[in-house]
Amino acid sequence: MINVFVYGTLMFPEVAGPIARIVSVGEPLTVRGFRRFEARTREWGNYPVIRRDEFSSVDGILFRELGEKQLAQLDRYEDVAGGLYVRSQIQVNHKGEDVYVDLYECGPALSGRLLEPLSKPWDPELFQTNELDRYIKEIVIPFVQHESFTARFEN
């Protein structure tokens, strides 16, 4: 079982549920050593990425004990194979406990797709208000339909 830290679109149940059958609300977690940016691409619009930055921190959600099928879905969603994101494991202190968490940070393939350099912070509240509905319709639903999501979780 794997602990996963999410800091962007996967913080929203409307995204995490369909993508990887994550039904937990998770636990708030701040991860130090990373900075969150708004990435804009032609294909996906506005979404978040993180890069290492020793002077910054990122607020997000910790999902504990995800299964291998859930992790595989997250890897596909984050396009790890295509290099859009890289899944890394770090150790954090959460409520006095040392915990290993996986997270998805900016991958090498992203730079060629950016419409502008990463400089602006990504704001989850603005995304929820202005773009979440569009994102679900244009990104989440097609992803789930293409990946035959339901069949992947049948026993």
Structural domains present in the chain? 2-152 (3.10.490.10)
- Residues 102-119 have pLDDT tens digits of 999 999 998 888 888 899
147 falls in which pLDDT band (50, 70, 90)?
Answer: low
- Residues 69-93 have pLDDT tens digits of 999 999 999 999 999 999 999 999 9
Higher pLDDT, 150 or 29: 29
Q: What is the pLDDT of residue 152?
A: 42
CB neighbour burial string for 18-42, b if at least 16 within 10 angstroms, e if fewer? bbbbbeeebeebebeebbbbbbeee
How much is the average pLDDT of 131-138?
Answer: 92
- Residues 31-75 have pLDDT tens digits of 999 999 999 888 777 889 999 999 999 999 999 999 999 999 999
How much is the average pLDDT of 112-136?
Answer: 92
Higher pLDDT, 151 or 52: 52
